[in-house]
Amino acid sequence: MAERLSLSERGGCEMPAWLQVVIAVLAPSGVVVTLIEKTRRENNRDHNKNSELLRTIDRKVDHVSERVDDHIEWHLTKEK
Protein backbone atom coordinates (compact mmCIF):
# COMPACT_ATOMS: atom_id res chain seq x y z
CA MET A 1 0.00 0.00 0.00
CA ALA A 2 1.38 3.41 -0.96
CA GLU A 3 2.20 5.78 1.84
CA ARG A 4 0.54 9.22 1.71
CA LEU A 5 2.84 12.19 1.91
CA SER A 6 1.92 15.31 3.84
CA LEU A 7 2.05 18.68 2.14
CA SER A 8 5.33 19.53 3.85
CA GLU A 9 6.91 16.33 2.52
CA ARG A 10 5.75 17.25 -0.98
CA GLY A 11 7.27 20.69 -0.80
CA GLY A 12 4.13 22.52 0.44
CA CYS A 13 3.28 23.63 3.95
CA GLU A 14 0.68 22.27 6.33
CA MET A 15 -1.98 24.60 7.57
CA PRO A 16 -2.37 24.82 11.35
CA ALA A 17 -5.68 23.56 12.74
CA TRP A 18 -6.60 27.00 14.12
CA LEU A 19 -6.17 28.51 10.67
CA GLN A 20 -8.42 25.86 9.15
CA VAL A 21 -11.09 26.77 11.73
CA VAL A 22 -10.73 30.48 10.98
CA ILE A 23 -11.08 29.84 7.24
CA ALA A 24 -14.06 27.52 7.81
CA VAL A 25 -15.79 30.26 9.83
CA LEU A 26 -14.89 33.23 7.63
CA ALA A 27 -15.51 31.73 4.18
CA PRO A 28 -19.30 31.37 4.61
CA SER A 29 -19.50 34.81 6.20
CA GLY A 30 -18.12 36.26 2.95
CA VAL A 31 -21.13 34.87 1.13
CA VAL A 32 -23.45 36.33 3.77
CA VAL A 33 -21.78 39.74 3.52
CA THR A 34 -22.14 39.66 -0.27
CA LEU A 35 -25.86 38.86 0.00
CA ILE A 36 -26.39 41.60 2.57
CA GLU A 37 -24.61 44.14 0.37
CA LYS A 38 -26.69 43.14 -2.65
CA THR A 39 -29.88 43.47 -0.61
CA ARG A 40 -28.77 46.89 0.64
CA ARG A 41 -28.15 48.14 -2.90
CA GLU A 42 -31.54 46.87 -4.07
CA ASN A 43 -33.21 48.51 -1.07
CA ASN A 44 -31.54 51.85 -1.82
CA ARG A 45 -32.59 51.63 -5.47
CA ASP A 46 -36.18 50.82 -4.52
CA HIS A 47 -36.20 53.59 -1.93
CA ASN A 48 -35.12 56.12 -4.56
CA LYS A 49 -37.86 54.96 -6.93
CA ASN A 50 -40.49 55.22 -4.20
CA SER A 51 -39.29 58.66 -3.14
CA GLU A 52 -39.70 59.93 -6.69
CA LEU A 53 -43.17 58.37 -6.92
CA LEU A 54 -44.20 60.07 -3.67
CA ARG A 55 -42.94 63.44 -4.96
CA THR A 56 -45.03 62.96 -8.10
CA ILE A 57 -48.12 62.13 -6.06
CA ASP A 58 -47.49 65.15 -3.83
CA ARG A 59 -47.36 67.48 -6.86
CA LYS A 60 -50.60 66.04 -8.22
CA VAL A 61 -52.37 66.38 -4.86
CA ASP A 62 -51.22 69.99 -4.56
CA HIS A 63 -52.61 70.71 -8.02
CA VAL A 64 -55.99 69.15 -7.16
CA SER A 65 -56.05 71.04 -3.87
CA GLU A 66 -55.55 74.34 -5.71
CA ARG A 67 -58.34 73.51 -8.15
CA VAL A 68 -60.74 72.64 -5.32
CA ASP A 69 -59.86 75.86 -3.50
CA ASP A 70 -60.53 77.85 -6.68
CA HIS A 71 -63.83 76.07 -7.20
CA ILE A 72 -64.98 76.74 -3.64
CA GLU A 73 -63.97 80.37 -4.02
CA TRP A 74 -65.99 80.56 -7.23
CA HIS A 75 -69.10 79.25 -5.42
CA LEU A 76 -68.66 81.73 -2.61
CA THR A 77 -68.22 84.76 -4.85
CA LYS A 78 -70.65 84.06 -7.70
CA GLU A 79 -73.84 86.05 -7.90
CA LYS A 80 -76.85 84.38 -6.44
pTM check: above 0.75: no
The pLDDT value recorded for residue 11 is 56
What 3-state DSSP class applies to 59? helix
Low-confidence stretches of the chain (pLDDT beneath 70)? 1-12, 80
Half-sphere exposure of 1 (CA within 13 A, CB side): 2
Q: CA 48 to CA 22: how far, in whole Å?
A: 39
Residue pLDDT, tens place only, 19-35: 989 988 888 888 899 99
Residue type at position 74: W
